[in-house]
Amino acid sequence: MTYWGCKIVYLLGRKNDYGIVMIELCIELPTYLKCYENQEELQPYFSLPRVMDGLFNLVNMLFGINLEPADGLAPVWNHDVRFYLVNDSSLIPIAYFYFDPYSHPFEKSGGAWMGGVVGRSRILSRDGANARLTVVHIVCNQMPPVGDKPSLMTFHEVENVYHEFGLALQHMVTKQDEVLVEVFGMDVYHEAILSQLRKMN
């Protein structure tokens, strides 16, 4: 294995504070991966459950947000779709999101995307006193797990999940109670400008 491969495996295999490892991965790993040719060797380190656990831990560490499964609380369009409750640091619900991770040929197009289901709104809430909470969906096209083996991701797919979750996070953490002036009401070009600038470097 090359120097870059050893460095990547070292970073991915570390067992200390997971939050610190994730920060190192975010800073260092993209550079190493550009120098590493055989990315298939890295896929065992990027199982979908491990990537999502790392993402949820990172979001908790950075923003104090807790994400917990809420399967059964809302209807889903496929048995693979997961539904999550998003709580703030006081464990008060602030949003929900659907996660549809796997490819379903003939049912959805390729790629990864996020979208809003409903935006936060006090006017459109049932009682008018408490705001209706934001619901978003994040859709990916991972290869489904085979047997008891988890779905394995390329680094590009990991980047896509983090990117789409970052866009969804803008909607989920808003405290603006009127959907037309919060992120859902923004022009898509304004919403995505920072992520597009990041891709240019």
Beta bridge partners of 87: 66, 93
Which tokens is 65 given? 């947000």
Strand order across the 82-87 sheet: 66-69, 82-87, 93-102, 134-142, 113-118
Answer yes or no: 28 catalytic.
no
Cβ within 8 Å of residue 178, ≥6 positions away: 121, 122, 123
Helices 18-35 & 3-13 angle (0-180, nearest 10): 160
Query: Could you say which of 41, 164, 182, 191 is catalytic?
Result: 164
**Number of residues that make up the chain:** 201
Q: E strands, 52-200, where? A: 66-69, 82-87, 93-102, 113-118, 134-142
How far CA 147 is from CA of 115, 150, 164, in Å, comes to 31, 8, 27
Q: Could you give the CA distance from residue 95 to residue 70 in angstroms, rounded to a whole number?
A: 11
Catalytic residue list: 164
